[in-house]
Amino acid sequence: MNDDAYSDAAMVRALLVNMELPVDLSYKKPEGSIPYKIVAHKVPIQDVISKAALEQYDIAIIELDIENPDTAIAAISELQNTHHLPVVVISQICNNTILRQIQFFPSVVLLFSPFSPAEYHDALQQVLQKRTSLSPSSLRTPSALSLAESRYQLLFQSSIDGFMLIDLNGKILDVNDAYLAVTGYTAEEVYQLGLIELEAIDTPEDIYLRIKKIVANGFDRFESRHKCSDGTLVDFEIKIVYKANEEHLLCFFNTITERKRIEQTQLSLLHGSFLRKNESYFQSLARFIAESLGFDYICIDILQGNLLQANTIAVYFDGNFEDNVQYTLHDTPCGKVVGNTVCCFPRNVRHLFPNDTILQDMAAESYIGATLWNSSGSPIGLIAAIGRKPIKNLELNETLLKLIAIRAAGELERELAETELRQSEAQYRRLIESMQEGLLEVDNDDVIVFANPKFCSNSVRCLVIKRKNCSVK
């Protein structure tokens, strides 16, 4: 490269710590980027702080010793906090502990080996943008900055979707109220936790590689899951936008938890993945309802002919199955369910039904129930779910219980039909066996397939078989 290439380049004094400056990578001038020429000063890690105190530097480039990173972390902290020096940190592996420590430094860019010349220059561009004297953003007037900031805040806080501003290391710079409302955190808690701790699926290395991909492509859309303050998880569809030569990413979070739960419930019902060995269908279903909807007491009932009484076929309470019972629906919330697709009491249910002993004994707060209908549109059963806490998302719980009730009704109708058939066959057999006349059934091959007790007297039986030349099946 000739000297003319450096004519308009900024001279950048860099501290090189534990490394050599990559050959022929000291200058780059793509459109829109900051032209620079590195003037490097190599120092060992133990001398970096004293060197920074004695001379003026623009940036530091530090290669981490993975076996003993504490010294480098301490040096980075000192360079950031005391000398306000942007740092490029080069590491050979993506270490979770190191990432958690480094992400909180305001002006650090991570670069993982091996890296390409383009990745090296991108990292240098990022730290150079953090130097006010070199950054094009310093040319913006205060009034322009004020106008841009007000517009940004208006868009930021009025969005119904969650929104984050993160830097190219994944550090959270800003977060809006919509994201905080969904996850239950304060803004300070989000900044302290950072993206790595909030993320429930991606590893720190996954996050780093995704950011690299977004910087290269400008955009990405994917699904992930974040941890909430109460320990629950929330599913997001995440859109991230990157504008060339910017220091940050715009992240939009669309909550899809309800959609995912509906999809998962449909798949579980379709494939029967909730079924367990040594449990009846309805016992497994009661367990599934308790775990997926978060209720403490589940009962599944068969309605009696007058619809005033019910027999339980599965009762699941606090993680255990209980004996089935017969009970009257009067003075219970189940009595309000019959004839309705879904009936719900999101709070204060035990005070609304003071004579229901189950509600009183378990200090119930909420109730939701659904009628099970047969194919002719008649009510044949009930599902009831009782909880000790109020129902937060009534619409989602109703949707899920409706899906479950449709599948449960089909299974219950099938079992009732099989029971009725067995009872009919038993009644027919009792009638035939009590007849005073002998009765014999022979198939087309002259094989005897049935004979009642009267026919089976030895004399008659032997005579018929001899005459008909029949065999006995």
C-alpha neighbours within 13 Å on the C-beta side of residue 13? 8
Residue in the block written with tokens 């020429």: 37
Q: Which two tokens stand for residue 306?
A: 């007058």
To the question of pTM greater than 0.95 for the whole model, the response is no
Inter-residue contact 165 to 149 (CB < 8 Å): no
Look up tokens 């040594």; give the residue: 278
What is the CATH code for 3-129?
3.40.50.2300
Structure tokens at 36: 């620079």
Q: What is the pLDDT of residues 296-329, one digit of tens each?
A: 999 999 998 778 899 999 999 999 999 999 999 9
Say which range, 20-29, 156-165, 196-205, 401-410, has the weakest mean pLDDT: 20-29
CATH class of 261-422: alpha beta
CA count, 13 A, side-chain hemisphere, 324? 12
pLDDT of residue 30: 52
| Helix (H/G/I), strand (E/B), else coil: 358 | helix
Per residue in 422-460, pLDDT tens? 888 888 878 877 777 777 777 888 787 777 777 776 545
The answer to whether domain 3-129 and domain 155-255 are alike in fold is no
8 Å CB contact between 68 and 108 = no
Q: Does domain 155-255 have CATH number 3.10.580.10?
A: no
C-alpha distances in Å from residue 90, one per residue of 52, 250, 388: 19, 25, 53
Alpha carbon distance 203, 44 (integer Å):
32
Where residue 325 falls (left for φ over 0; alpha for ψ -120 to 50; beta otherwise) is beta
Residue 76 neighbours by CB under 8 Å, 6+ apart: 62, 87, 89, 102, 105, 108
Query: In the structure encoding, which two tokens stand for residue 421, read together?
Result: 């058939």
Pick from 16, 42, 15, 11: nearest CA to 27: 11
Domain layout of the chain by residue ranges = 3-129, 155-255, 261-422, 440-472
Average per-residue pLDDT for the chain:
81
